[in-house]
């Protein structure tokens, strides 16, 4: 839409503006300069800032009422950044050396190293936590570039429980339609910045089944469909089914997961690789994942020169999490632990979770019990979700069919908020329930067992768990004694499923 100004009563102003041809040449010059900035940045994930020529969206005018003269300088940066995320800001058309400034609390604060070349860049962490981060550059001549407003929002991590795409021995997950399990939940998962799940199956056409009650093997085609339909970015392989068809199939699983652009955590070509943190970069943050299992068979564990899973010991967890915390801004520690169908965590699970938190984990996400267990807030900005239950998994009781998606909103080193989108598994397909998410899944109706106090580590503060209080009922997850447990209504408030039909496999 064109906007016309300077007219009164339909008459043209006394002084005519530039001719259409001149305006066209001016606009072409501005576009050419903007494209030059893109070429300097070398990436596509940028927003552009024009100088005195104001544009739209994130493009605004020069420094404003600061008493400083404006320049023709322009800045380029990311389209969006998480709180505490790192940004790379490029400046062009500013007298060097120039300093980029961020407006914090009404004051302009110098950020990053000086830019010493035209088209040069500087990197720093954003201090703004919500809305946008106003940025500008001040040249050596004291003139101010146009202002760049970089949107700031939390990184959205969505996490789900057990995923089993194997057609046997519990019956076909989706018949001949491998996309069926993802129709309800796929759109929400694809909207995440990072989507995570526990892949509880080998992905291979080779190998011989191990001598155990349940063995699961998935075709590479089913994994490709999962990736396409769900957008899942990271999978935990530290569980008691990755090795179901031997080490050759474990190697195949690692390869197929990587070939589909998915990051595998908790397993590797040898012990060191299995324990190595995997880092995913989003919104200016480095998010590290580590994974461990405590569930037999223990001979699935990786050896010094053999592929397998990462086995959980306090020292192994402490070492891996500390390494991850040294390399990344956010650390997600995932565990396969606990007792099937138990609605509260074991003492071992609580101790390992506490070990991970003390070592620097931002959040702990668990699985294996096939039912939901409580999620507990730790301190002001960390979370332990002991079990997310089943997700795409054949479920034969109300307890094992109770499922959902955990959402964590993350900033650097912090869980800013969390919510739970409840779902019900029908056969093996999770179907989201209507209504808003539960905004407080970390507050159970009955407290989980308190983690035993570990020996203090010199120089490491011990965070205190948040005291749980009863949660108010919501439309999405009514808190009634007969309701299946969700993270806001854990096992203590519901009757555990019993009998052979409740078991969904180890």
Q: Which residue has the higher pLDDT, 61 or 67?
A: 67
| pLDDT value at residue 178 | 85
pLDDT tens, residue by residue, 422-437 = 999 998 899 999 988 8
Q: Which residue has the higher pLDDT, 2 or 173?
A: 173
* Sign of the alpha-carbon torsion through 333, 339, 341, 345: negative
User: How far are the Cα atoms of 14, 115, 343, 417 from residue 137, in angstroms, in the given order?
Assistant: 38, 9, 55, 33
Q: Which residue has the higher pLDDT, 301 or 17?
A: 301
Q: Which residues of 98-122 are buried (b: 16+ CB within 10 A; e: fewer)?
A: bbbbbbeeeebeebbeebeeebbbb
Q: How many domains does the chain have?
A: 2
* Domain carrying residue 50: 20-151
- Residue 253 located in a structural domain: yes
Domain match, 401 and 428 both? yes
Q: What is the 3-state secondary structure (H, E, C) of 14-59?
A: CCCCCCHHHHHHHHHHHHHHHHHHHHHHCCCCEEECCCCCCCCCCE
User: CA-CA distance, 250 to 451, in Å (whole number)?
Assistant: 34
Domain match, 139 and 260 both? no
Q: Which residues contact 395 (CB under 8 A, 6 or more apart)?
A: 370, 401, 403, 425, 427, 428, 504
- Residue 9 located in a structural domain: no
pLDDT exceeds cutoff 50 at 38: no
What's the token pair of residue 94? 């500013």
pLDDT exceeds cutoff 70 at 482: no
Strand partners, 99: 138
Domain boundary among 120, 151, 182: 151
Domain boundary among 113, 128, 151: 151
Strand locations in 80-239 (E) = 86-92, 98-104, 107-115, 121-125, 132-138, 146-151, 155-163, 194-199, 202-203, 217-218, 234-236
Strand order in the sheet with 132-138: 59-62, 146-151, 132-138, 98-104, 107-115
Within 10 Å of residue 50's Cβ, how many Cβ atoms? 21
When mean pLDDT is compared across 239-243, 320-324, 394-398, the lowest value belongs to 394-398
- Residue 506 located in a structural domain: no
| pLDDT value at residue 68 | 65
When mean pLDDT is compared across 2-11, 65-74, 236-245, 435-444, the lowest value belongs to 2-11
Domain match, 125 and 160 both? no
pLDDT exceeds cutoff 90 at 91: yes
User: CA-CA distance, 209 to 232, in Å (whole number)?
Assistant: 27
pLDDT exceeds cutoff 50 at 497: no
| Helix, coil or strand: residue 178 | coil
User: CA-CA distance, 231 to 262, in Å (whole number)?
Assistant: 9
- Residue 228 located in a structural domain: yes
Domain match, 379 and 402 both? yes
- Residue recorded with tokens 């959040």: 363
What's the token pair of residue 266? 């908790």
Whose CA is closest to 219, among 196, 189, 245? 245
CATH code of residue 293: 3.60.21.10
User: CA-CA distance, 90 to 112, in Å (whole number)?
Assistant: 12
pLDDT exceeds cutoff 50 at 99: yes
- Residue 12 located in a structural domain: no
Strand partners, 424: 402, 431
Within 10 Å of residue 183's Cβ, how many Cβ atoms? 14
Within 10 Å of residue 206's Cβ, how many Cβ atoms? 12
Domain match, 381 and 406 both? yes
| Helix, coil or strand: residue 79 | coil
User: CA-CA distance, 317 to 290, in Å (whole number)?
Assistant: 8
The mean pLDDT value for 245-249 works out to 97
Strands 194-199 and 234-236: parallel
| Helix, coil or strand: residue 242 | coil
The band of 464, judged by pLDDT with boundaries at 50, 70 and 90, is very low
pLDDT exceeds cutoff 50 at 325: yes
Domain match, 85 and 190 both? no
Domain match, 144 and 200 both? no
Angle formed by the axes of helices 220-230 and 246-259, to 10°?
30
The band of 386, judged by pLDDT with boundaries at 50, 70 and 90, is very high
Strand partners, 388: 372
The mean pLDDT value for 244-272 works out to 98
Q: Which residues contact 217 (CB under 8 A, 6 or more apart)?
A: 166, 168, 201, 202, 203, 204, 207, 209, 244, 245, 249
CATH code of residue 26: 2.60.40
User: CA-CA distance, 5 to 486, in Å (whole number)?
Assistant: 59
What's the token pair of residue 281? 């970069």
- Residue 258 located in a structural domain: yes
- Residue 331 located in a structural domain: yes
| pLDDT value at residue 439 | 67
pLDDT exceeds cutoff 60 at 494: no
Domain match, 488 and 457 both? yes
Domain match, 160 and 261 both? yes
Q: Which residue has the higher pLDDT, 497 or 234?
A: 234
The mean pLDDT value for 359-383 works out to 96
pLDDT tens, residue by residue, 127-178 = 999 999 999 999 999 999 999 999 999 999 999 999 999 876 445 555 568 8
Domain match, 199 and 144 both? no
What's the token pair of residue 46? 């940028």
Strands 285-293 and 429-432: unpaired
Q: Which residue has the higher pLDDT, 21 or 286?
A: 286
Strand partners, 62: 146
| pLDDT value at residue 218 | 92
DSSP state of 236: E
Domain match, 375 and 447 both? yes
Quote the pTM value. Answer: 0.77
- Residue 146 located in a structural domain: yes
What's the token pair of residue 225? 């469909």
| pLDDT value at residue 175 | 54
Average model confidence (pLDDT) for the chain? 79
pLDDT tens, residue by residue, 260-302 = 999 999 999 999 999 999 999 999 999 999 999 999 999 999 9
Domain match, 205 and 282 both? yes
| pLDDT value at residue 297 | 96
| pLDDT value at residue 396 | 85
Domain boundary among 151, 169, 189: 151
What's the token pair of residue 118? 């035209």
Angle formed by the axes of helices 347-359 and 314-327, to 10°?
30
Q: Which residue has the higher pLDDT, 68 or 440?
A: 68
């Amino acid at each position: 839409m064109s906007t016309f100004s300077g007219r009164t009563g339909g008459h043209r102003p006394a002084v005519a503006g530039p001719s259409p041809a001149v305006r066209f040449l001016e606009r072409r010059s501005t576009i050419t300069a903007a494209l030059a900035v893109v070429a300097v940045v070398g990436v596509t994930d940028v927003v552009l800032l024009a100088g005195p020529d104001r544009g739209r969206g994130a493009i605004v005018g020069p420094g404003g009422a600061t008493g400083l003269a404006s320049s023709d300088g322009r800045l380029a940066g990311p389209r969006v950044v998480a709180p505490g995320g790192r940004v790379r800001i490029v400046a062009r058309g500013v007298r060097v050396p120039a300093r980029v400034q961020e407006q914090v609390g009404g004051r302009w604060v110098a950020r990053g190293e000086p830019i010493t070349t035209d088209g040069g860049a500087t990197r720093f962490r954003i201090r703004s936590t919500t809305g946008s981060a106003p940025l500008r550059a001040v040249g050596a001549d004291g003139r101010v570039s146009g202002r760049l407003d970089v949107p700031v929002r939390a990184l959205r991590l969505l996490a789900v429980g057990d995923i089993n795409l194997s057609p046997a021995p519990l019956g076909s997950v989706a018949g001949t339609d491998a996309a069926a399990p993802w129709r309800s939940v796929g759109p929400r998962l694809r909207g995440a910045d990072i989507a995570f799940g526990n892949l509880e199956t080998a992905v291979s056409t080779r190998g011989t089944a191990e001598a155990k009650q349940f063995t699961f093997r998935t075709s590479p085609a089913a994994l490709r469909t999962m990736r396409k339909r769900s957008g899942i970015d990271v999978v935990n392989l530290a569980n008691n089914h990755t090795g179901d068809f031997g080490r050759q199939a474990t190697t195949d699983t690692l390869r197929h997961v990587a070939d589909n652009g998915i990051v595998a955590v908790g397993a590797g070509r040898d012990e060191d690789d299995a324990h190595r943190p995997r880092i995913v970069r989003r919104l200016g943050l480095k998010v590290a994942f580590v994974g461990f299992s405590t569930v037999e068979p223990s001979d699935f564990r990786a050896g010094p020169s053999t592929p397998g899973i990462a086995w959980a010991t306090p020292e192994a967890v402490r070492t891996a999490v500390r390494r991850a915390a040294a390399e990344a801004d956010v650390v997600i520690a995932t565990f396969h632990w606990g007792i099937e169908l138990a609605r509260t965590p074991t003492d071992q699970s609580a101790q390992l979770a506490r070990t991970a938190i003390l070592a620097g984990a931002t959040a702990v996400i668990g699985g294996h019990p096939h039912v939901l267990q409580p999620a507990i807030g730790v301190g002001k900005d960390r979370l332990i979700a002991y079990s997310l239950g089943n997700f795409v998994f054949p479920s034969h009781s109300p307890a094992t069919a109770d499922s959902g998606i955990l959402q964590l909103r993350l900033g650097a080193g912090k869980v800013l908020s969390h919510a739970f989108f409840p779902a019900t598994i029908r056969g093996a397909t999770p179907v989201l329930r209507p209504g808003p998410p539960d905004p407080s899944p970390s507050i159970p109706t009955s407290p989980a067992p308190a983690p035993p106090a570990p020996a203090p580590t010199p120089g490491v503060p011990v965070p205190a768990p948040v005291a749980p209080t009863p949660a108010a009922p919501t439309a999405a997850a009514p808190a009634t004694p007969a309701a299946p447990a969700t993270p806001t209504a854990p096992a203590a408030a519901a009757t555990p499923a019993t009998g052979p039909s409740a078991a969904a496999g180890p």
